[in-house]
Amino acid sequence: MSQVPRLRNIILVLLGVSGLLIKRWLSASLGEVAHSYLGNVSVSFSVYYLVLLAARGRFNKAVYVVVALLVVESFELADGYGVMSNVYDQNDLIANAIGVALALVVDIVLDRILRRDSALL
């Protein structure tokens, strides 16, 4: 994996983490949906990019999606592995999938932009 995608993925992990950090502030204006599910979407988004960083580009995107979903959904179903407090809500499973899907869409779009820009050089 070259330095550009690696740096991009680190920035996207941090973007997902920032969504988790501003969840409380956003819930004041966006309401209960943000309070209940924005954390799941944000963390799942970050986990996709953490998996991508760990794999160093050795697999296709479908593998990253499956691994990220396994991590976040098992965390949800195992009640935070006993490490974090977690309240089970089956809608959290959907929010997790939305976060991973959003990360995949961003990954695909950014890859196409990078390839297009490389072709112009």
pLDDT in tens, 84-117: 666 677 899 999 999 999 999 999 999 998 888 7
pLDDT of residue 86: 62
- Residue 93 identity (one-letter amino acid): L
SS3 content of the chain, % helix, strand, coil (to 5): 85, 0, 15
Render 51-79 in DSSP notation, one character per residue.
Answer: HHHHHTT-S-HHHHHHHHHHHHHHHHHTT
Helix and strand tally (H, E) in the chain? 5, 0
Residues 24, 39: Cα–Cα separation, whole Å = 9
- Residue 48 identity (one-letter amino acid): Y
Q: How does pLDDT run across 15-26, given as a tens digit for each residue?
A: 999 988 887 777
- Taking a C-beta distance cutoff of 8 angstroms, is the pair 10, 65 a contact? no
Residues 7, 94: Cα–Cα separation, whole Å = 29
